[in-house]
Amino acid sequence: MAAGTLLYFPTDTLQNISWGITASAEETGAVTWTKTEGDNLTWTLYDNGTLTISGSGAMKDYSYDSPAYGNSKIKKVVIENGVTSIGYYAFDSCSNLASIEIPEGVTSIGNSAFKDCRRLTNITIPGSVTSIGYHAFSYTLWLTNKQNESPLVIVNGILIDGTVCSGEVTIPDGVTSIGDYAFSGCSRMTSINIPKSVTSIGNGAFSICTGLTSINIPENVTSIGNGAFQRCSNLASINIPKSVTSIGSNVFHDCTALTEVLLEGGSKLTSENLGVNESIIRTRWNEDNLTWTLTADGTMTISGSGAMKDIPAYNKSNIKKVVIQNGVTSIGKYAFSNCSSLTDITIPDGVTSIGNGAFRHCSGLTSITIPEGVKSIGAFAFFECAGLTSITIPKSVTSIGVGAFDSCTGLTGINIPEGVKSIGAFAFSECTNLTDITISNSVTSIGESAFSGTPWLTNKRQENNSLVIVSGILIDGRTCSGEVTIPDGVISIGNNAFQNCTGLTSIKIPKSVTNIGEFAFSGCGDSLEITVPCDSTLTKNAFGDASEKVKHRHSLIKTDAKDETYTEAGNVEYWTCENCKKHFLSDETDAEAAKEVELSATVKPVPVQVATATTQIKCVYGQDMDEINLQDYVKNADAVGEVSVKVATGSTMLDGMQLDGSKLSGKPTKVYTNGKDVTFTFTAKNGNTADLTLHFLVAKADPTVKVTVDGDSHTEGDLVEKLGLSISKDSTKGAAKIVSELKALAAGKNTLAWEFTPEDSENYNVVTGTVVVNAQTTTTTTTTTTATTTTTTTNETTSTTKETTATSGTTATTKATTAISGMTSATKATTATSGTTATTEETTTTNETTATTEETTTINETSATTEETTTNETTATTEGTTTTNGTTATAEETTTTSETSATTGETTTNETTATTEETTTNETIATTEETTTTNKTTAATEASTVTTNETTAATGETTTNETTVATKATTSATQTTTITSTSNTESTAATSATTITTAATTSVTNIADDDLCSWALNDYLKKTGVIAVNAEITARSENAYEITLTDLNGNVLDVYTVDPKTGTGTDSSNAEVNLPQTGNNSMTNWLLCVGAALFMAFGFGAVKASGVFKRKEDE
């Protein structure tokens, strides 16, 4: 198309056009011409010399008429994608063509495609090309350059040219095909080595290679092209493998020196295929390990080593003699079959097997000696060797194949030696002159009709009543009729042994027979019954088409019935087969119909005999019952063995009892005063059962009770009805009461009766017991000091004050602490009497001492100071009650007794002075009540009052704004006093002070509880450095008390177990403790210790928890 040409496209013609631009105008220039071939490929030549081929499919072959043939203007060829092949002569003689691009997808390049393109140097050949035709690149610079690099030009595994080679040439491994005419005319090449990778040799590949004298074509080559070796005038021999299945015409045309063609065994090539005379094929097969050579006189010599391959010389009529040399180990199948001229054969000792049909139809053979070492003679190995009159079988032979000597009519005798185990079917069939056969006992298998048609078989039938048995094998019974019993010792019935015996009605086969040959009873009449022992290994299937005639039968022996006893089992009537030893309950002999049973099914087992229970079994609620082995109730255990026991159906076990095997144990959890029957079922291993009923009486249990009398100190005259009882934690739940007739305690030991009623009255009895209470007299002078604990609370706090009184010449010091908004102040008043100092708050009168409110009086150089503080709107009223030896003086507001006499160390009655002190203010009344009992005793009282809101604290009485404080002090001469502190947040404070004295007239063996507790606290502090805030006796017995130490939060720090008499024992880690060593029997010291501990623990804040010791029983 000329430049500037206008192209006109009608409307709507462009919408379906696909535009593909492969090269720009600058690259290709203007189109010189374009042509579309019949193969739908378009050839376009541009004015710059580039030729493009576009389209899809294979390019057709040309013969000097392609669009590009001889075109000197073509400089470059571009074949576009889609083209799959390049045709013959496509670009032949394009003298200026220098470059060609062949795309991936092209698979073949035709003959002479680029021949005579002498300037062609640049060729791109893709890996998709698998076929390159002859002369495709002949006379191109590209080929010349390749030949200069290597004399063998190989492209994609295709050897396309080797024409410049000389001498011995070796084609490298990996080449898969030798191209057409690749070595054509290479006269200087003298030999060629072809690798096993080559699978094809192209047309004329080695034509006119006059220097070659021999060629060995390797395995794997499958095709040889036309004229591949034509005109190789000096080629004398060639070996062609059996892998070659395709061979062209005129392969060896004009190979005038060729005298030998070696074909591998199994090759189907013929002289016609090869284009040579058959006479030059000296050996028909050439095996890898054996060489077969046939000479002009008809002698075949086989040399080499190893096994012979099959069918090497089949039907070679000109073979007269075969010599197998040493080293050959076997004779192949049909090796010499139909060699009718063969009269003589030599087999060496190394041969171990003769293949099937090896000498079949070798009618010229008259004798053969099989050497020692041969183990097997194949099927039909000597079939129809009619001229064979003698044969020697060695002892090494173990099997003679089917028809091995069939129809050897010249044989008259045969010896089958020891060692032969099997004789195949028809092995000597139709040997019509065979009268003498010796068969060794080693034979275990004889095939069908092995000797049929021989005079020997006819004679055997007459000798043995129609049964012919050889070496335990019944080989023939075809002439039998009626009932036949095969003798014991026969192990096999041969194939077709009784075939077509229509007169045979019954045959019994012994157990010794283990094999039935094929068709052994085929064609026998329908009335035939074949009886086989029940224990025979033969199944019906072994009889083939006669299986329906087979009956397996038992040989039965009867056993009479016998009754069972308690000591011996019996049995029912049954039968036992003497063959299979199976047992049956009937006399049916048919093995299929008879129902086998286990011997145990015939047994009447020994019944279980259990003793009759004559005594009741007594037990108590909640208490372990003595274990009962119910096995002991079985009277005939020796006969029935161990039995299993369970609670009988419908019966139930006692609550809380368990049955483990035959052992009964447990704790009853329900009372059965009238008894309960439990029935047990005993089951023996033989399946028999018996029931036993036992009667159980479950009585109520006595409760566990530990009763103590409340309080640690009692005095003669105490009312018994006022005494409280405590029950220990480990006691049965319930209530105890005193039922003694004693109304009041007497001095010394008092034994009191008590009665305990359990909560669970259904299961526990009501029980009684006694407890001993010690009471002391009232005239005893005490020598014991008790400790006082002070508890203080804040925020309109109620303050409770406990006072301590020391008697009999003992000095008691009272300390009062008042906390006001985090500050503490203490006021202490001291009264001195006759060498005794008493610190008193309120008003106290001592021996030779006069105490006056708001005054200080000194008598005998002793002064007593009474201090009283009254605040605004507060009235303090003091009520004093003094009791001495039964005398009480009480005064409200002002009470004075006359004739007061104070004597050092004692107070007497009817001469008592009571001093009453009263302070009254508006709106609030504070009452202080003191009761002092003296018996030659001086008491000092301590009171502590704590208030907030800028409260002023004083010793004695303290009253704050709108606050009432009442102080009560009581001194009692009893043995034991429990001290309790209480608090109230409703702006009322009550102070209770109690003076405790202990009688000394009674011999007390235990250390006081409070001493033990205080000593324990002191001991723990010394030992650990940790402050325990509370100690209490949580358990007690006659010889041991348990003291539990806790911190502020109630957490247990330690537990002491001590002897209450000595104070010695252990802590929770079993370390020894000796409490008296840590205390001095002084409550005051303990108070100071605990006070200091509390002060250290809580600082100046208000104390919130009581430190008073309490026993658990008193809570």
Dist CA 1107 CA 120 (whole Å): 123
Residue 592, Cβ neighbours under 10 Å: how many? 10
Q: What pLDDT shows up at residue 879?
A: 35
Q: How many CA atoms lie within 13 A of 524 on its CB side?
A: 33
Sign for the pseudo-dihedral over CA of 312, 314, 316, 321: positive
Pick the most confident of 20-29, 197-206, 512-521. Answer: 197-206
Lowest mean pLDDT among 280-289, 766-775, 982-991, 1068-1077: 982-991
Averaged pLDDT, 923-952: 32
Q: Which residues contact 734 (CB under 8 A, 6 or more apart)?
A: 703, 705, 727, 756, 757, 758, 759, 760, 764
Q: What pLDDT shows up at residue 25?
A: 42
Q: Which residues contact 1016 (CB under 8 A, 6 or more apart)?
A: 1028, 1031, 1043, 1045, 1056, 1058, 1073, 1075
Dist CA 839 CA 320 (whole Å): 160
Lowest mean pLDDT among 156-160, 244-248, 981-985: 981-985
Averaged pLDDT, 255-280: 81
Tens of pLDDT along 854-911? 333 332 333 333 333 333 333 333 333 333 333 333 333 333 333 333 333 333 333 3
| Residues 846 and 836: beta-carbon distance below 8 Å | yes
Is 70 exceeded by the pLDDT of residue 1021? yes
3-24 burial: b if 16+ Cβ within 10 Å, else e? eeeeeeeeeeeeeeeeeeeeee
Averaged pLDDT, 165-171: 95
* Third-level CATH fold of 26-149: 3.80.10
Dist CA 469 CA 45 (whole Å): 98
Q: Which residues contact 53 (CB under 8 A, 6 or more apart)?
A: 41, 42, 43, 59, 77, 78, 79, 80, 83
Lowest mean pLDDT among 125-129, 401-405, 476-480, 816-820: 816-820
286 pLDDT tier (thresholds 50, 70, 90): low
Lowest mean pLDDT among 63-77, 451-465, 1087-1101: 1087-1101
**What SS3 class is residue 221?**
coil
Dist CA 104 CA 753 (whole Å): 124
Beta bridge partners of 758: 734
CA 7 to chain centre: 85
CATH of domain 464-553: 3.40.50
Dist CA 31 CA 51 (whole Å): 10
**In Å, what is the CA distance from 305 to each residue of 292, 331, 1006?**
12, 12, 120
Q: Which residue has the higher pLDDT, 897 or 217?
A: 217
Joined tokens for residue 457: 């078989």
| Residues 310 and 355: beta-carbon distance below 8 Å | yes
Averaged pLDDT, 223-236: 95
Find tokens 């058959």 and name the residue.
278
Tens of pLDDT along 527-551? 899 999 998 989 988 898 888 899 9
Q: What pLDDT shows up at residue 1027?
A: 84
The DSSP element (H or E) to which 1095 belongs, if any, is helix 1083-1098
Name the residue among 295, 250, 263, 259 with its Cα closest to residue 280. 259
* Third-level CATH fold of 291-463: 3.80.10
Pick the most confident of 220-229, 488-497, 1098-1107. Answer: 220-229
Joined tokens for residue 162: 């080797």
Q: What pLDDT shows up at residue 777?
A: 83
Averaged pLDDT, 582-610: 91
Tell me whether residue 759 is exposed, middle or buried, using C-beta atoms within 10 angstroms of its C-beta: 0 to 12, 13 to 18, 19 or more.
exposed
Per domain, the residue ranges of the chain are: 26-149, 291-463, 464-553, 556-604, 617-689, 707-773, 818-996, 1009-1114
Three-point CA angle 1079, 1080, 1082, nearest 5°: 105
Tens of pLDDT along 26-37? 456 799 999 998
Supply φ then ψ for residue 217, to 5 degrees.
Answer: -90, 125
Is 60 exceeded by the pLDDT of residue 918? no
Averaged pLDDT, 306-331: 83
Averaged pLDDT, 910-925: 33
Q: pTM of the entire structure?
A: 0.37
Q: What pLDDT shows up at residue 1079?
A: 58
Tens of pLDDT along 826-851? 333 333 333 333 333 333 333 333 33
Three-point CA angle 1100, 1102, 1108, nearest 5°: 115
The beta strand positions in 468-593, using DSSP E, are: 468-470, 473-476, 482-485, 492-493, 504-508, 515-516, 529-533, 550-553, 556-559, 570-571, 574-577, 583-584
Supply φ then ψ for residue 242, to 5 degrees.
Answer: -75, -10
Pick the most confident of 731-735, 815-819, 888-892. Answer: 731-735
Is 60 exceeded by the pLDDT of residue 941? no
Lowest mean pLDDT among 500-509, 511-520, 658-667, 1086-1095: 1086-1095
**In Å, what is the CA distance from 387 to each residue of 12, 379, 390, 402, 408?**
98, 19, 9, 20, 7
* Mean pLDDT rounded to a whole number for the chain: 76
Q: What pLDDT shows up at residue 1113?
A: 34
Lowest mean pLDDT among 285-289, 513-517, 800-804, 814-818: 814-818
Q: What pLDDT shows up at residue 284?
A: 61
Q: How many CA atoms lie within 13 A of 210 on its CB side?
A: 4
Q: What pLDDT shows up at residue 316?
A: 73
End-to-end, the C-alpha distance of the chain in Å comes to 129
Joined tokens for residue 862: 């002793």
Lowest mean pLDDT among 720-724, 727-731, 901-905, 1048-1052: 901-905
Q: What pLDDT shows up at residue 312?
A: 64
27-62 burial: b if 16+ Cβ within 10 Å, else e? ebeeeeeeeebeeebebbbbebbbbbbbeeebbbbb
Dist CA 644 CA 628 (whole Å): 14
Is 80 exceeded by the pLDDT of residue 478? yes
Tell me whether domains 26-149 and 291-463 share a fold: yes
